[in-house]
């Protein structure tokens, strides 16, 4: 995957996280996002976003970071 694809994955992860902020509990929200990523993202997508988090993940929102860490 190229840099554009990583940018898209970051954007999608942040959007999914933003759409799950209604719960009010950051841990539960992160778990919901992680479950979504497990269910709908390809293994290669999950690997790339996980690698990005390991490298710092600076563009991921706090909830997206927690979710990716759960993967």
- In the predicted model, is pLDDT for residue 45 greater than 80? yes
Mean predicted confidence (pLDDT) in 43-56:
97
Predicted confidence band of residue 24 (pLDDT cuts 50, 70, 90): confident
pTM for the full predicted model: 0.91
User: Residue 1: its pLDDT value, please?
Assistant: 46
Angle (nearest 5°) at CA 63 between 54 and 3: 45
**Could you tell me the residue range of the domain that residue 65 belongs to?**
3-70
What crossing angle do the helices spanning 62-70 and 26-40 adopt, rounded to 10°?
60
Number of domains making up the chain: 1
Distance CA(18)–CA(34), nearest Å, equals 13
């Amino acid at each position: 995957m190229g840099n554009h694809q990583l940018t898209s994955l970051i954007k999608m992860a942040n959007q999914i996280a933003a759409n799950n902020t209604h719960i009010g509990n950051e841990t539960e929200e992160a778990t919901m996002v992680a479950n979504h990523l497990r269910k709908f993202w390809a293994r290669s997508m999950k690997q790339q976003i996980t690698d990005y988090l390991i490298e710092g993940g600076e563009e991921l929102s706090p909830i997206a970071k927690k979710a990716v860490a759960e993967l």
